[in-house]
Amino acid sequence: MVIEVSKEIDVVRIGIDRYSLKTGLKLRSVMDVSIQVIKEPRGFIRIIQCLMAILAFSTTAGFSTECKFSINCGGDEDDIDVEYEFGYPFSHTELEIPHDCDDKELLHMILPFNYSNASGFFVATGVISFMYTIIILTVYIFFHQTYSNNPKLPVVDLVISVVLSIFWMAGSSAWAQGVTDLKYYLHPETLFQFLFICLNEKNGHDVCDSEEDGSYGTLNASLILGFANFLLWTCSLWFIYKETVFHSPEESAPPQNQSAVKGVGKV
Residue-level pLDDT at 250: 47
Do residues 229 and 49 touch, judged by C-beta distance below 8 A? yes
Higher pLDDT, 4 or 122: 122
Sign of the Cα pseudo-torsion (234, 52, 87, 71, in order): negative
DSSP run (H or E) holding 174: helix 152-185
Q: How far is CA 1 from CA 14, 32, 58, in A?
A: 8, 14, 43
| Euclidean distance between CA atoms 148 and 176, whole angstroms | 39
Q: What are the tens digits of pLDDT across the range 29-38? A: 445 677 787 8
CA–CA separation, 179 vs 185, rounded Å? 10
Does the pTM exceed 0.85? no
- pLDDT interval class at 207 (50, 70, 90): confident
User: Average pLDDT, stretch 192-200?
Assistant: 81
Segment among 114-118, 131-135, 144-148 with least mean pLDDT: 144-148
Residues whose CB is less than 8 angstroms from the CB of residue 216 and which lie 6 or more positions away in sequence, other chains included: 65, 179, 183
CA distances from 162 to 43, 194, 196, 240 (A): 16, 44, 50, 10
3-state secondary structure of 4: strand
When mean pLDDT is compared across 20-29, 92-101, 249-258, the lowest value belongs to: 20-29
More confident residue, 112 or 48: 48
Name the amino acid, one letter, at 57.
F
Mean pLDDT of the chain: 80
pLDDT digits (tens, 9 = 90+) for 227-242: 999 999 999 999 999 8
Give the span between the Cα atoms of 183 and 210, in whole angstroms.
14
Label residue 202 by pLDDT band (50, 70, 90). Answer: low
Q: What is the mean pLDDT of residues 103-109?
A: 78
Per-residue pLDDT tens for 134-179?
Answer: 999 999 888 888 888 888 999 999 999 999 999 999 999 999 999 9
Q: What are phi and psi of 68, to 5 degrees?
A: -150, 140
